[in-house]
Every structure is written in C-alpha cells, then in structure tokens.
Structure 1
Amino acid sequence: MRIVTAQSSADRHGIILFGHGARDPEWAGPMQRIAARIAALDPACPVSLAFMEFMRPTLDEAVDDLVARGVRSIRIVPVFLAQGGHLKRDVPLAVGRAAERHPAVGLSLATAAGEAEGVVEAIARYAIAP
C-alpha cells in the first residue's frame, strides 16, 4: 500500500510529457493515456502535456502552468522514439529559455522515451505478440 503525503512547494515536482504535435487532435490520445497512468501511479505529481507544433499547450505554456501551480522541479519527458534533430537542438534551447524565465525552478530534460530500455522491450514484445 502506498501512502501519498502532501508535498511542500519547496519539494513539489511535476512532469511534462512533450510531443511533436499533429493537426489531428486524436493524435494526442496515447499521450493523454500516459498522463492518466502517471496520475494514477502518483496522484501528488502534477503532469501536463506539451507540444512542439500544431497543438497546445506549448512547452512554455506547460512550464508556466506548472510553476503557477507551485511546482519547483519539472522533468520534461519527450514522447519520441529517438533523439532526432528537434531533441538535439530545438528542445534544449526551449528548455533553456524556460529555465531563464524561472530560475528558481529545476528543469530537466529526459532522453526520448523510445530510447529507454523498458520501452524498447515493450515494443519488441508488442511486435512479436500474436
């Protein structure tokens, strides 16, 4: 049994699931399901979605929202299969700008979710399933 206690604003952390975005709003469905699963696993951890283009909120908007909600540490998790050009160049610049706007907030950028061993394993198992 897990007991969740209230966090002080000094140690409150949040997660932003960051995706590319698409013109079709249904594209965000898997990210919404991941966010719901995170919320179920850790109800005290605020989780938000953010998108590079076509959809809202933007990364800036998501960071600003979590900071306004008292979050002091944010992990940005790119829901991408690999570390492509956006994740190597554009996203670190955007995270840096957000860090400049919120110097009291710790921002960290994870590698692409698709590069995590557990995700690779899950996709492999999915691919060979009957």
Structure 2
Amino acid sequence: MTPLIAVAHGSRDPRSAATVTALLDVVRALNPAVDVRAAFLDLSAPRLGDVLRTVHGEGHRHAVVVPLLLGKAFHARVDVPGAVADVQRQFPRLSVTIGDVLGPDPWLESAALRRLAEAGVRPFDRTTGIVLAGAGSSHAPANAAVAAIAARWAARSGWAGVEPAFASAGDPDVPTAIARLRARGATRVAVASWFLAPGLLPDRITARTLELAPDARIAAPLGADPEVAELVLHRYSTALTGSEVRQYA
C-alpha cells in the first residue's frame, strides 16, 4: 500500500496538531486499508522530509503527499514541492506524487456551513451577516478563491450578506468586512471558518470580531469533519490513479 502522507502547515499551538491527528483518525476509520501518516511543514513534528525518509527506509518506493492546505498559496506552491525535492535528491529511487490541496472544494464548503449551523447560525436570516474568515495570502488568487465562496454563499443563503476577511496578507480585514455587512442591514454577525484547525490566526479573527461585535457567533474550524476526511482520501486516490471521478451530494 502506497503511504498517504498528509502534510499540514504546523503551529506552536498544540490544538492544531491535535486537530490534524483527529482528522487523520477519521481518514483511517473511513478506509483502514490506507497507510496514513501525518507530517508538518514547520513548527510541529514530524516534518515532511523526515516522514518521507522514514517511508523510504521502510522499503517503500512510492508515496503520495496530500497537502492539508485550503488554497494554492506559498506553502502549496513552494514549501511542499521544495521539501519533496530535497528528499528525492537524497533518495532518487523514491517516487513521490503530490496531490492537490484540499480547497476550494464543495465538500469543504459543506463542512464550513455545518460548523456555522453548529454555532447556531441558520440560513435565510436577513438580520445576520457572515464573515468568511481565512488566513490570507500574498498570492492574490488564493484570496480570490475565498472571496468567490463568499459571493456564492451570499447569492443563495438568504443572509444579509457574506464578506471574506483575512487574518493577514489580504484585504479586506475583519473591521472592513463587518462594516460592509452592517451597511447591508446586518444587525448580527457570525464568523464562518476557512481554517482547518485552531491556532494563532483563527484566534486573531475571533478576538477582532468580538471587539467589534461582542455577541457574534463564531464557528469552529473545519477540523475532523467526515467530509474533510473523505476529501483527503479523494485527493490521495486521484493522485494515485490520475482520475477525477466523484459525486457531490
């Protein structure tokens, strides 16, 4: 069985690695036959390069790396391929296929909307405006992908509005997003999370939101959601077979 190496960004916040562990437990439960391993790019262990060296040392000659990233920003475009290339220079007989990032994807949107519902937010509530909060990137297309999701939700949800907001390296920020929602008539604010796990940036979004809207409802990160786990397995199987066959609920 070709190992599935799921690589997350990594964080000093222990909640982040714990969430990744919980998500991969769901992945294993969905398909016990897959050899699932966790790895991180930075700040947490084990690092991606170390996991690749381990699977090579165990005799594997092929591995699939699935980035647990929600967009194609710097980490997906530079860090993951760079770490893989470093190991392949050391072990040229190790073939590594890098799967696609997780987002954007309808399954992630479904998980994010489910987290909102768990926070007590319902569709077709014209008094509520939604901040769709993401990390933000210097890579404009990554931010545009989050903005496109916000626009899609706004068109069909019945909320007062949906605005993207970014914790860093992107516009708009939380105050701007909330101001836009209030200008559209929102009297209540809720935050939808476009984060996989808890950590510094989601906490920054939450703190800034509560400063401006103390009664705001804050949805949890996507976390160990079954649809997120299904998506990890889908990225793995697509990388193995090169085929893209799936059904959307």
Identify the TM-score tier after normalising by the shorter chain: 0.7 to 0.9
Matched residues in 1 for 2:73 and 2:17: separation? 20
Specify the SS of the correspondent of 1:13: coil
Once the 2 structures are TM-superposed, how far is the Cα of residue 44 of structure 1 from its aligned partner? 3.2
Once the 2 structures are TM-superposed, how far is the Cα of residue 80 of structure 1 from its aligned partner? 1.6
Whether 2:29 is the aligned partner of 1:21: answer no
Q: Partner residue of 1:7?
A: none
> What does residue range 1-130 of structure 1 map to in structure 2 within 5 Å?
12-128=1-117, 130=120
Matched residues in 1 for 2:100 and 2:74: separation? 13
Matched residues in 1 for 2:106 and 2:58: separation? 32
Specify the SS of the correspondent of 1:114: coil
Matched residues in 2 for 1:69 and 1:43: separation? 19
Q: Partner residue of 2:127?
A: none
Matched residues in 1 for 2:54 and 2:80: separation? 18
Give the fraction of aligned pairs with identical amino acids, expressed as a percent: 26
Query: Number of paired residues?
Result: 119
Higher relative contact order (CA 8 A, sep 6+): 1
In structure 2, list runs of 5 or more residues that go unmatched: 121-249
Q: Is the 8 A contact 2:41 2:79 kept in 1?
A: no
* Segments of 4+ moved more than 4 angstroms: none
In structure 1, list runs of 5 or more residues that go unmatched: 1-11
1:55 is matched by which residue type in structure 2? Answer: S
CA root-mean-square deviation: 2.0
Tell me which structure has the larger Cα radius of gyration: 2
